[in-house]
């Protein structure tokens, strides 16, 4: 008897313009861009982008059924359309958790489904553990728990699989400064030399993008590095958060998991993810026994890979049908 054939899910049709959008001033420095699409009376779902400076471009609207979900996208502090772009002042995990709660109140949402990828999983867990009563559940892709081991892997460990990309990443920094690559990159990105700052940002983004796909796409890597608006937020905030250990205590997210363990959670993980390795997803799943872990064997870190796309939409459809995952 043959096993049932697994259903493959595709993105929903493009939503050309959000139903409404706006900005939200969250302190004396930062103003966030936000938007809503889909059903205004539907189940609210918020997407937490990666980076932390990547932003939430329009294509992200396509992961949820617009007839059922009230889809909320926003750019975190310093990312994409939020201002000031790439700003490091007042930019911490705790500030982003507070921003998310301010946005929920601003949109008059009682509680919402939390979805996120990569750094977005870190923020999702930090927010949920702070405001569990505001969460309906979690869909997490490419889990990153913010530990020193994960940061060290990104800076040093990935050379075992991407030696050429890592060599380029390291060789941008003079040999005498390579004992602290994070500090060296941060100083160049935030210095007065705009040309050097741009080169450092592009070098960082190029390294990260080179390691994110199961099948390397050199043209895509260069396109991402050349996108000044996206790469400025991504590069500056990546190195800022890594340098500050993501403003978390070691293993804080695992240690505080009790606050949200009663909520449904679907974990989707690329089996060959070299940026947020499967070990972190497995650790989270073991600490959250009722969570559902789905490993996509032929995928890396990028949410654009077909197996990841299908699994993410499958999760949103499962939640739509039953309010839980299987």
Kindly list the catalytic residues: 118, 273, 301
**CA 97/CA 253 separation, integer angstroms:** 13
CA angle 62, 237, 281 (to 5 degrees): 60
> Are 85 and 232 spatial neighbours (Cβ–Cβ below 8 Å)?
yes
**CA 285/CA 266 separation, integer angstroms:** 9
Q: Write down the residue that tokens 């569990």 correspond to.
A: 132
Tokens of 28: 């004396």
DSSP for residue 23? E
**Among 151, 152, 185, residue whose Cα is nearest residue 168:** 185
Tokens of 22: 């706006």
- Rounded to the nearest 5°, which phi and psi values hold at 292? -115, 125
**CA 79/CA 86 separation, integer angstroms:** 6
**CA 284/CA 260 separation, integer angstroms:** 12
Q: Write down the residue that tokens 């009230």 correspond to.
A: 70
Q: Write down the residue that tokens 């935030």 correspond to.
A: 190
Q: Write down the residue that tokens 């201002």 correspond to.
A: 83
**CA 29/CA 18 separation, integer angstroms:** 26
> Are 214 and 307 spatial neighbours (Cβ–Cβ below 8 Å)?
no
Q: How far is CA 81 from the centre of its chain?
A: 16
**CA 316/CA 323 separation, integer angstroms:** 9
Q: For 89, what's the count of Cα atoms within 13 Å in the CB-facing half-sphere? A: 8
């Amino acid at each position: 008897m043959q096993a049932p054939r697994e259903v493959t899910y595709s993105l929903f049709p493009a939503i050309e313009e959000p139903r409404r959008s706006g900005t939200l001033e969250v302190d004396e420095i930062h103003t966030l861009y936000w938007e809503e699409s889909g059903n205004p009376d539907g189940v609210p779902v918020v997407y937490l982008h990666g980076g932390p400076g990547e932003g939430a471009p329009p294509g992200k609207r396509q992961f949820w059924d617009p007839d059922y979900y009230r889809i909320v996208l926003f750019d975190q502090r310093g990312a994409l359309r939020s201002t000031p772009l790439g700003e490091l002042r007042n930019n911490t995990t705790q500030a982003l958790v507070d921003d998310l709660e301010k946005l929920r109140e601003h949109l008059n949402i009682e509680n919402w489904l939390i979805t996120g990828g990569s750094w977005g999983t870190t923020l999702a867990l930090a927010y949920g553990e702070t405001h569990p009563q505001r969460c309906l559940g979690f869909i997490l892709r490419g889990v990153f728990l913010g530990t020193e081991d994960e940061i060290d892997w990104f800076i040093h460990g990935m050379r075992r699989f991407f030696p050429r990309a890592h060599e380029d990443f390291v060789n941008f920094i003079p040999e005498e400064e390579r004992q602290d690559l994070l500090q060296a990159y941060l100083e160049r990105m935030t210095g007065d030399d705009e040309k050097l700052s741009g080169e450092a940002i592009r070098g960082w983004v190029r390294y990260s993008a080179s390691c994110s796909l199961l099948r390397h796409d050199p043209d895509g890597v260069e396109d991402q590095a050349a996108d000044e608006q996206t790469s400025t937020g991504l590069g500056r905030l990546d190195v800022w958060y890594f340098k500050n250990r993501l403003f978390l205590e070691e293993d804080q997210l695992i240690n505080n998991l009790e606050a949200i363990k009663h909520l449904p959670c679907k974990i989707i993980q690329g089996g060959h993810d070299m940026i947020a390795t499967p070990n972190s997803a497995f650790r989270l799943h073991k600490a959250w026994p009722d969570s559902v872990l789905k490993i996509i064997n032929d995928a890396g870190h990028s949410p654009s890979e077909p197996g990841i796309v299908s699994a993410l939409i499958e999760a949103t459809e499962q939640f739509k049908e039953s309010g839980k995952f299987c």
